[in-house]
Structure 1
Amino acid sequence: MSVTTEDVKHIAALSRLRIDEGDLGTFGKQLSDILLYVEKLNELNTDGIEPTSHVIPVINVFREDTERNSLAIEDALSNAPERHGNFYKVPKIIE
């Protein structure tokens, strides 16, 4: 399948892209090459192969959401360069 200059202009318009006239031929050739590769992939026999979203099996890697004690305020603020009561004190950055 060959992608014409008009096809490239149409795709660019749909994509809201501005393409220089000098680049239309280059993009047409590249898009044609991509479509030829996809056609080549379509020749493969994929009967009995389930569609996948990942190459390897993926399982839920999240830990259980269990309630537990949080860090004590004194421990959380123990390395703070400056503090104001139970809060970190940081330099003012907005006037």
Structure 2
Amino acid sequence: MSEITPDLVRHLGVLARIQLTDEEVERLTGQLDVIVDNIAKVSEVATPDVAATSHPIPLENVFRPDVPQAPLTQQQALQNAPEAEDGRFVVTAILGEEQ
């Protein structure tokens, strides 16, 4: 017997504040029923001895050692800037604010 009924879909529509037509209710009833059935099938096979996975390949972040170093000088920071003035970057105003 189907777990998802048209009345349940209408109720979910009300909770979500979505106005559904009769055609949409009919279509969603079938689609949601298939989704619930598929989730039930997966739940049947999921056993405690099967570890949950979020990715099929184990991933590991690779970090360099966090070693303090001397900071850049002002001249080093500005050496590749397209334009600099008085030891600061010069940039185009993006919000129409003229300075």
Normalised to the residue count of structure 1, the TM-score between the two structures is: 0.73
What do the CA deviations read for 1:62-89 (whole angstroms, capped 9, x no partner)? 4443311233322221222211222101
Unmatched segments (≥5 aa) in structure 1:
none
Query: How many angstroms does 1:30 deviate by?
Result: 0.9
Q: Which runs of 4+ in 1 moved over 6 A?
A: none
The verdict on how the C-alpha distance between 1:78 and 1:57 changes in structure 2, with shifts beyond 3 A counting, is same
- Structure with higher RCO (Cα < 8 A, 6+ apart): 1
Equivalence for 2:30: 29
The verdict on how the C-alpha distance between 1:87 and 1:52 changes in structure 2, with shifts beyond 3 A counting, is same
Query: How many angstroms does 1:45 deviate by?
Result: 5.7
**Identical aligned pairs, as a percentage?**
32
Normalised to the residue count of structure 2, the TM-score between the two structures is: 0.70
The verdict on how the C-alpha distance between 1:47 and 1:91 changes in structure 2, with shifts beyond 3 A counting, is closer
Across the aligned residues of Structure 1 and Structure 2, the Cα RMSD in angstroms comes to 2.4
